[in-house]
Structure 1
Amino acid sequence: MGFQIQNKDFNKILESLKKEYKIYAPKRFEKRGRFSDTDLIKYGEINSIEEIVYDEKSHYSPKEIVYPITQTLFYFTEEEYKESTVHDKKIIIFLRPCDINGMRRLDTIFLQNGPFKDVYYERLREKVKFVMMECRESFENCFCVSMNSNYTDNYSIGVRFEEDRVICDIKDSDFKNLFEELGEKVDFTLEYVKENNVKVNLPNSDDITVEFFNDKMWEEYSKRCIACGRCNTSCITCSCFTTQDISYEENPNSGERRRVWAGCHIDKFTNMAGGHDFRKDYGSRMRFKTMHKIYDYNKRFGEHMCVGCGRCDDRCPQYISFSKCINKVSETLKKEETTNE
């Protein structure tokens, strides 16, 4: 069901929803960008439509709403422990089709990857409803079409932003009454980006051999990557973490256990007991990430992990392109196939 609604009335709907929901959307944080006098666009709680940045790509994904950067799992003393709690409100997130598809990958990792669910992820994720922001034109470095992530129908509300109004497709009955009161019924069909400037040729999984993992193509990334981890932290589907026990100063036998984002490009990620450290050179880390995104995950779950949002390309200070890396994998495999013939 479609509704057309003026911005001022849409703000009334947001105000009403905030009694029951925390509402998150891409938001501008002035002077917080990676360079001097640049802004940062990341997810934060909003109170009005004017705060939503819908005509630029957010620099970071919305995953931290359901999978916080630092998350307390439980508190402990000498004799007992107590599990942490979360807020009572439900959650609304404004996000694009690629990020909704990315959230589904996170669901797979945390909720379907083995016999046990991650309860700390689940208790936040089950609160979430999606408001999908229509994405008709590609941003720089996006390759969502190549990754089949440019489309989804998994949303409660779909929105098209115009200068003084919003046009909505309401799929969730929980929201229809609000829009019927303040909006005007219209015929409306959401549109999706159909072509990106960046195109990726995905490799055939059957062509990937054990020998390919030692190919010289990975040496380039040993020289260029600086292991800053920005690709991991900006990615919607990177889900790795480490755990830390924090002891309180007033009583070292009491404290809390936290999990904290980590990633395959970040130093010490592969440190093990006994001083062992795997993938010390940065090229092997790039190989690990690449093959996980377009090979390992696909073999297990039937789709590629990467959704083609392009944030890793946007954020890399060394201008390493993940989309070009995928294309190099395909090109290298074709050369190997020709040589073997």
Structure 2
Amino acid sequence: MGYQIDLKKMNAILADLSKTYTIYAPKRFVGDGTFAHIDTIRYGEISDLAEIEFAEKSNYSFKEVLLPISETLFYFTENEMKEADARAKGAIVFLRSCDLHALKRLDTIYLENGAVDSYYKRLRDNTKFILMGCTQSFENCFCVSMGSNQTDDYDAYLKVDGETVLLNSRWEALDDALAGATAKDVVPDFVTENDTVVELPEAVPQALFDAPFWEDYGNRCIACGRCNFVCPTCTCFTMQDLFYTDNGKAGERRRVWASCHVDGYTDMAGGHAFRNDKGQRMRFKVMHKVNDYKRRFGTHMCIGCGRCDDVCPEYISFSNCINKLSALVKEDN
């Protein structure tokens, strides 16, 4: 259903929802960037719609709401183990169309790829997603090429227009809260073109896995892992056991974000490591995003948000890499 409501009244509804939900949205953190004069737009708790950054792309994605950077799975002693409690509140997340497509990738990986991940599921089941429209494309976005520029899979759509809020709700609790609001047809804003256009390879022949093409990235990449950490569909993690100093037999096990680009990720017992070369790591990531995942699940893993291009300190462009790879595939054919 579509609604039109006064901004103050909508903030009052959010305040009421915050009793049972923690509300997350992209917000501006002044001076929190690489230098003191640079701001960062990342996800944080909000209590007022004025805190949400609607006009710019967030530097980081929503995924840490469902996949905390460091998440305690269970506590242990020498005699017993106790699973960590889930969050007391549910979550409401404001996000754009591309990130809603990323959510589908996370669901596939954690809920449909073998055994269900119970830690992800208990957070996912108690989270509502509110779509933020895009009136224009942002720098480095190529969501249109990836087919993630539009979606109808949301619990609500919200747009602030001055002192008025327009909503499209598919959430019963929100419909109840909006009783008495003015009925209005509300259609989400979606972009239909990007400045950056990507041509996706249909299938990458095995010969290109060892092509000299990847060596360029081995010379440029510094293995910082920033591209993985800002990506909404990167899900790699490592396990860490923390032993308490007052009792060396008690502690906790944590799931912590990891990166296929960072040194040590593929280290094995005996000192052996896969993909020591940074070009091989780039190949692994690219093939996973636009080749392997689609062969298994039917959609590309990349959703074209362009955050990896935004954040790379060496100005490595993932979109350019895909286009170069597509050109090589055509030559090979």
Instruction: Please report how far the alpha carbon of residue 161 of structure 1 lies from its aligned counterpart in structure 2 after TM superposition.
Output: 2.2
Q: Which residue of 2 aligns with 1:227?
A: 223
The count of aligned residue pairs is 333
Q: Distance in 2 between matches of 1:112 and 1:135?
A: 30
CA deviation vs aligned residue, 1:92-111 (integer Å, no higher than 9, x gap): 10000100110110010011
Give the C-alpha shift of residue 332 in structure 1: 1.0
Are positions 1:184 and 2:218 aligned together?
A: no
Residues 122-133 of structure 1 mapped to structure 2, 5 A cutoff? 122-133=121-132
Root-mean-square deviation over aligned CA pairs: 1.0
Matches within 5 A, 1:195-210: 195-205=193-203, 208-210=204-206
Q: Which amino acid aligns with 1:318?
A: E
Q: How far apart, CA to CA, are the structure 2 residues paired with 1:112 and 1:274?
A: 34
Structure 1 residues 213-272: Cα deviation after superposition (integer angstroms, max 9, x where no partner): 001110110011000000000000000000010010111111001010001111111101
User: Could you tell me whether the CA contact under 8 Å between 1:246 and 1:257 is conserved in 2?
Assistant: yes
Tell me the amino acid that sits aligned with residue 307 of structure 2.
R
- Are the aligned partners of 1:229 and 1:265 in contact in 2 as well (CA < 8 Å)? yes
Q: Deviations over 1:56-108 (max 9, x none)?
A: 10000000000000000111111111110112222110000100110110010
1:23 shift after superposition: 0.7
CA distance in 2, matches of 1:66, 1:90: 11
| Unpaired stretches in structure 1, ≥5 consecutive residues | none
State, as a whole percentage, how many aligned pairs show the same letter: 53
Single out whichever of 153-162 and 279-288 deviates more from structure 2.
153-162
Partner residue of 1:162?
A: 161
Offset from partner CA, 1:188-232 (integer Å, 9 cap, x none): 212311001100000011xx2211100111011001100000000
The answer for the alignment partner of 1:26 in structure 2 is 26
Cα distance in 2 for partners of 1:48, 1:191 equals 22
Aligned letter for 1:186?
Answer: K
Aligned to 1:256: 252
What's the counterpart of residue 37 of structure 1? Answer: 37
> SS of the counterpart of 1:180?
coil
Counterparts of 1:87 and 1:243 in 2: how far apart (Å)? 20
* Matched AA of 2:63: K
Contact 2:27 / 2:43 at 8 angstroms: preserved in 1?
yes
Distance 1:161 1:312 in 2: 28
Q: Does the CA-based 8 Å contact 1:136-1:194 persist in structure 2?
A: no
- Report the counterpart of residue 94 of structure 1 in structure 2: 94
After superposition, residues 243-322 of structure 1 pair within 5 angstroms as 243-322=239-318
1:95-134 superposed Cα distances (whole Å, 9 cap, x missing partner)? 00100110110010011111x1111111111111110001
Q: TM-score, normalised by structure 1?
A: 0.96
User: Normalised by the size of structure 2, how large is the TM-score?
Assistant: 0.98
Deviation for aligned residue 1:185: 1.5
Conservation of the 8 A alpha-carbon contact between 2:205 and 2:329: no
Distance in 2 of aligned mates of 1:287 and 1:130: 33
* Aligned structure 1 segments of 4 or more residues deviating by more than 4 angstroms: none
Structure 1 residue 165 displacement after superposition: 1.9
Aligned-partner SS, 1:137: coil
Partner-residue secondary structure (3-state), 2:131: strand
C-alpha contact (below 8 Å) 2:76/2:250 kept by paired residues? yes
CA distance in 2, matches of 1:112, 1:217: 34
Gaps of 5+ in 2: none
